[in-house]
Amino acid sequence: MAKVAEFLNLSIEELAEKAGNLRKELMQYRFQLKTGKLERQSVIQNTRRDIARILTVMRQKKSEVKS
C-alpha cells in the first residue's frame, strides 16, 4: 500500500500510467480470486485504495493547473 506523499512527486502523466498498471494488476488479482489462486484477498482492497489515492492526487494537480 502506497502513501500519498509518494504520488505527490509524480507528474500527471506518470500518475495516469501508474493507475493503468494498478488497474491491470487488479484485474489479475480478481482473476486469481475466481480461480482460487489468490492467497491474500486484502491485496484487492489495497490496490483499489491505491488507485483511489492516485485519482485524488491527479484531480488535485489538475485543479492547481487550472487555478
pLDDT at 66 over 90: no
Q: What is the pLDDT of residues 16-46, one digit of tens each?
A: 999 999 999 999 999 999 999 999 999 999 9
For the full predicted model, state whether its pTM sits above 0.85. Answer: yes
**Where are the domains positioned within the chain?**
4-59
Question: Distance between CA 30 and CA 41 in Å, rounded?
Answer: 9
Question: Distance between CA 4 and CA 50 in Å, rounded?
Answer: 9
Tell me the fold of 4-59: Helix Hairpins (1.10.287)
Residue 65, pLDDT score: 81
Residue 21, pLDDT score: 98
